[in-house]
Structure 1
Amino acid sequence: MGRYGDEVTALAAPLAGPGDLDALLDRIGDARVVMLGEASHGTHEFYTWRAAISRRLIEEKGFSFVAVEGDWPDCDRVDRSVRCLADAPTDPRDALATFERWPTWMWANEEVVDFTRWLRAHNARVDEAARVGFHGLDVYSLWESLRAILTYLGEHEPEQVPAALAAYRCFQPYDEDGQQYALATRFVPTNCENAVIDLLVRLRERAATDGAGRFGAWQNAEVVAGAERYYRAMVRGGRESWNVRDRHMDATLDRLLDHRGPGAKAIVWAHNTHVGDARATDMADAGEVNIGQLARERHGPDQVVLVGFGTHRGTVVAGQAWGAPLEVMPVPPGRSYSLEDVLHDAAPPQALFIFPQGDRPDVLTHELDHRAIGVVYHPQQERRGNYVPTVLGDRYDAFCWIDHSHALRPLPIRPAEAAEAQTYPSGV
C-alpha cells in the first residue's frame, strides 16, 4: 500500500446501495445547493449514483429541481414531462429522444430515462407547486432559444415579436453557426449585441410580473445573450469563453432558485471540471472560474456541498473527434501517483468519502493529478493529458469512488450536424 494508503482506508466507507448514503445526507444537512460531478459524460455508474443521491435529496430533504449541464430548450421539454404538464409527453423518454445536439448521449441515455421516469412518478403524487423540475444550465442553444422566444411571444405577447425578430434577423445570415458569427464580428464593427440586449431588457422586465411561461422566455433570452458573448470570446482565443460559460450557468442557477421562491434548493449535475472548486486546481492559475467556486462565493461554503466522482478503469462512451460517432472506449488504469492510482490501491471497489472539516490528512491537502475525460477522448494518449492537478479536500466536500466502471447506455439517436466545439478541457 502506497504513501496515502492508511489515510484512504480510514476515510473510505463502502458504497453498495442507497442506504450507504446516510453519511452524505448528514454532511449535506440544510445546504441549499448540492453539486454532483462526474469524471466523464459517458459512465453508467456516475449517472446511477447521482440519481440515487438525487432521489434521497428530493424525498427526504425537499430539493426543488435538478439543473444539468444541458441546453435550456431541450431540458425544458423534459421538465414539462416530469412535471406532468398536459401538453408534454407522458413518458420522459420521448422528450429525451428529441435531443439532437452532439454529444446526444450526455442526456439522451437510459440512465437519465430511468431517473426522469422516477421523477415524473414522484411528481404525480405531490401538489403542482411542489413538483421537482429538470432544467438546463448551458449556453449553446442560441438559435433554438431564439425560436422558442418567437413561438412564445407569437402565442402570448404578439406586441413583443418585433424585438425578437430584430435579434433573430441579426443572427440569420450566419446559418446557425456560432463560430461563423463570431469570426464575422472580428472583421466588421457591428454585431448582434444591441439587438440581444434590447430583447433581454424587455423580457426581463415582463418576467417579474408573471409565472413560468414568461420566466422561460426570459431564460431563453439570457441564453441568447450568453451565447453571443461566448462565441465572441471563443473566437478571440484564450480561456475567457470558459468563464463566460460557467458564469452563465451560475447566473441561471441563481435565477432558478429565485424563481422557485424562499426555501428553494437545487441539485446540479455537471462534469467534475465544472463542479469541483477551480481554486483547488491549476484552472485558477489560468484565470478560470467554475460553477462550484462561484456557488461557494455566492451562497457561502456552508450552503453548498460539492461531490466529485472518479474511476480507475473500465469503459466509457465518447467520440474520437468533435461530431464523430459515439464509441464505447476503454478507460485505462489511472496513471502512477494519480488520485485514481492512490484510491485503487487502498479504497474499496466502491467507496464514499466524506471529507472532515477540521484537521485533514495529507491525501486531502497534497496536490494529486485527477483524471477528467471529455466527450472527445483518446485513451491511448491520456497519460500525456486528461489529468487536472487537484487538492482533493479543497476541490470537493465529498467523493464517490468506482474502481471499475462501465459505459452508459445511449438512446438510438442520430445527432444533427455538429457545430461549435466546447471549451477546454475537451468537451466538458
Structure 2
Amino acid sequence: MTAVTGWLASRVVPLDGLDPRAPVGDLEPLRAALGGVRVVGLGEATHGTREFFLLKHRLLRFLVEEMGFTVLAMEASVSAAEALDVYVQGGAGEPERLLADLGFWTWRTREMLAVVEWMRAHNRTASRRVRFAGIDPQFPAASLRWLRDHLGERELLAPLSVLEETRLGVGEPLDPAIETAARRLLEYVTANGSRVDRFAEPGRVGGATATMDAEAHARIVRQFAALVTRPMRDADGSRTAGAARDRFMAENVDRLLERPGAKVAVWAHNGHVTTGHYAGRSIPAMGHHLRERHGSGYYALGLLFGSGEFRARRLRFGRPDVRRPPVRNSVPAVDRADMVESRLAAACPRDHVVDLRGGPRPDAVDEWLGKEQYVRGYGAVVGRFSYKMSFTPTVLGDDFDGLAYVARGTCSIPF
C-alpha cells in the first residue's frame, strides 16, 4: 500500500448503504470536518446517476437534522424554484409539475421527488424549517410573469419577452440591447421599490408565503439577459456565458446567506462546486467565488463513481438536441495511477466519504494533492462516441475539500 492510499484509507468514512430513509449515524465523523461551515457544495460527476441522488439525500438529512442547515440550493431556475419552496413549506402544488418547471430534465426523477417530499414532511414538525431555492438564472419565465402582473411600467418588459423562449447555448447570442433593457428594468425597480410594491398582492403562492420581491425577480431577469447575450466560447474565458453563470450562482447563494443563521447546502455538478476553475482551467467556478468570499466557511465535496451507468443526452453533429430524451451511458472501471477514482477504490472499495482538508499529511500526500490528476465528469450532454475516454483534469488540493465515492452507479429514474 502506498503512502497516499494508506492516508486515504485512514480517513475513510464507510457508508452503511445509500437508503435515504436509514439512520445517518454513519455520517457522524463528518461533523468535525464541517464545523464552522456555512455552505457545503454537494457535487456530482454526472447529473444522471441514481446513487448520487440517494447519497445527497442522506447528506442533506445529516446537514439539516444534525448540523442545522436551513436551505437546499439547487442548480436550477431561481424563478421556478419559488413555487417548489412554497410546496415544501406546506403550500399547495403538484411536486412532479413543480420539479419539471425547474427547467432541467436532470431533476425530473423519482429520486429528486423523494427529496422534495422528505423536505415537506420534515417541515411539518421541525422547529427550524428547511427551504428549497434555485440559484441558476436560467428559465426566468415565472419572474417575467410576476413582473407583468405587478409592474406598472409594463413597456419596460416588452423587449424582454424573448427571454421566455430563449435557452442558453441554443442558437447565437441575443442582441446586447436585451441586456441593456434588463438593466434598465432592474434600475427602475430598485429606484421605485415602494411604488412597485403597491402593485403586488401579499406574498402568497399556493396558500403559503413567497419570498421573492420585485427587485429579486428583476435581478434574475437581468442575470439571464447577461448570459444569453454572451458567447458560449471566447478566447477570453471571462467573457463567456459560463463564467457569468458561475459568478451569478455564487451571488445567489450569498443572498440566501443574508438571512440570520442561514446555512446552505448547494446541489450542483462537480464542475460548479469545485473551488478551482473549469473549461481548461480558464473559468472560475461557482465554488471558487464562494471560497474567495467565505474561506474555510465553504466546503466543496465532490462525488465520484467507479463504474456503471448514468443518463445524459448525446451530442448530434456537435450540438445538444433538446428534443431527444437522455439515454443510458455506460463506463467501465479505470485502473490508472493518475485517476482519482482508482486511488479511492484502492483505499476502500465500498461506498465512502473522505475528508481531504484536516489533519496531518505526509509529504507524499501533499505532493499527490498538488499535482494534476484526472476524474470522470459528465454534464447533461456527452459526446456520442468519445465520452468513455473523456476525463477531466483536477488538482485535488485546489479543487475539493472532500470526496465521496460510489463504487457502481446506475441510471436515475425519470417520472
Partner of 1:371: 376
Change (3 A) 1:182 1:146: farther
Q: CA deviation at 1:39?
A: 0.5
Partners of 1:226 and 1:80 lie apart in 2 by 23
Match for residue 410 of structure 1 among 395, 403, 414:
414
The offset of 1:80, in angstroms, is 0.9
Relative to structure 1, is the Cα distance of residues 214 and 97 closer, same or farther in structure 2, using a 3 angstrom cutoff? Answer: closer
Count residues in correspondence. 383
Instruction: Tell me which amino acid in the other structure corresponds to 2:157.
Output: Y
Q: Is the 8 A contact 2:70 2:130 kept in 1?
A: yes
Alpha carbons of 1:368 and 1:32: their partners in 2 closer, same or farther (altered >3 Å)? Answer: same
Q: Which residue of 2 aligns with 1:341?
A: 342
TM-score, normalised via structure 1 length: 0.81
Partner of 1:24: 30
What is the aligned-residue identity percentage?
A: 29
Distance change in 2, residues 1:124/1:33 (3 Å): same
- Counterpart of 1:92, as a letter, is P
Separation in structure 1 between the aligned mates of residue 82 and residue 269 of structure 2, nearest angstrom:
20
Distance 1:220 1:181 in 2: 25
Name the stretch that deviates more: 61-70 or 219-228: 219-228
Q: How far does residue 61 in structure 1 lie from its aligned partner after superposition?
A: 2.2
**Structure 1 residues 54 and 193 mapped into 2: Cα distance closer, same or farther (>3 Å)?**
same
Aligned pairs (5 A) from 1:267-306: 267-278=265-276, 283-284=280-281, 286=282, 288-301=283-296, 303-306=297-300
Change (3 A) 1:168 1:405: same
Q: Is the 8 A contact 1:70 1:137 kept in 2?
A: yes
Of 59, 69, 78 in structure 1, the residue corresponding to residue 75 of structure 2 is: 69
- Matched residue type, 1:170: P
- Residues 313 and 326 of structure 2 are in contact (CA less than 8 Å); yes or no, is this contact kept in structure 1? yes
- Map Cα deviations across residues 31-50 of structure 1 (whole Å, 9 max, x no partner): 11111111110011111111
TM-superposed CA distance for 1:180, in Å, is: 8.4
* 1:197 aligned onto 2:194: no
Q: TM-score, normalised by structure 2?
A: 0.83
Q: Residue type matched to 2:248 in 1?
A: H
1:203 & 1:175 partners in 2: Cα distance?
20
Aligned residue number for residue 353 of structure 2: 352
Q: How does 1:99-138 map to 2 (within 5 A)?
A: 99=102, 101=103, 103-104=104-105, 106-126=106-126, 130-138=128-136
User: What amino acid is the match of 1:135?
Assistant: A
| Other structure's SS at 1:124 match | helix
What secondary structure, in the 3-state scheme, does the structure 2 residue paired with 1:233 have? coil
Aligned CA distance change for structure 1 residues 166 and 192 (closer, same or farther; 3 Å)? farther
After TM superposition, the structure 1 = structure 2 runs for residues 45-84 of structure 1, keeping only pairs within 5 Å, are 45-84=51-90
Match of 1:310 in 2: 304
26-35 or 4-13, which moves further after superposition? 4-13
Query: What is the RMSD computed on CA atoms of the aligned residues?
Result: 2.8
Query: Are the structure 2 counterparts of residues 134 and 389 from structure 1 closer, same or farther at C-alpha, using a change threshold of 3 Å?
Result: same
CA shift for structure 1 position 371:
1.2
**Mapped partners of 1:318, 1:355: distance in 2:** 29
State the secondary structure of the residue aligned to 1:41: coil
**Is contact 2:100–2:107 with CA below 8 Å preserved after alignment?**
no
Provide Cα deviations, 1:346-388, integer angstroms capped at 9, x if missing partner.
3222111012435431443332111111111247413543x22
Between the aligned partners of 2:343 and 2:36, the Cα distance in structure 1 is 32
Report if aligned partners of 1:142, 1:228 keep a CA contact under 8 Å in 2: no
Deviation at 1:267, TM superposition (A): 0.8
Structure 1 counterpart SS, 2:13:
strand
Would you say 1:8 and 2:3 are equivalent positions?
A: no
How much has 1:181 moved relative to structure 2? 8.9
Partners in 1 of 2:348 and 2:112 — Cα distance? Answer: 28
Deviates more, 1:137-146 or 1:262-271: 137-146
Quick one: distance in 2 between partners of 1:204 and 1:107? 33
Q: Which has the higher helix share?
A: 1
Counterpart in 2 of 1:157?
none
Q: Which amino acid aligns with 1:114?
A: A
Shift of 1:300: 2.1
DSSP-derived class of the 1:300 partner: helix
The residue identity in structure 1 corresponding to 2:165 is E
8 Å contact kept, 2:71–2:263: yes
Please identify, of 215-224 and 238-247, the stretch whose mean Cα deviation from structure 2 is larger. 215-224
SS in 2 for 1:84: coil
Query: How far is 1:335 from its partner?
Result: 6.1
Structure 1 residue 201 displacement after superposition? 2.6
Aligned partner letter, 2:377? A
- Give the alignment of 1:87-106 within 5 angstroms: 88-89=92-93, 92-99=95-102, 101=103, 103-104=104-105, 106=106
SS at 1:203 equivalent: helix
Say if 1:44 and 1:299 are closer, same or farther in 2 by CA, change over 3 A.
same
Instruction: Give the CA deviation at 1:167.
Output: 3.9
Give SS of 2:354's match: strand
For the 8 Å contact 2:88–2:116, the answer to whether it is kept is yes
Do the aligned partners of 1:96 and 1:108 also contact (CA within 8 Å) in 2? yes
Q: Give yes or no for contact 1:2–1:345 (8 Å, CA) kept in 2.
A: no
| Structure 1 residue 226: Cα displacement | 1.1
* 5+ long unaligned stretches in structure 1: 154-159, 412-428
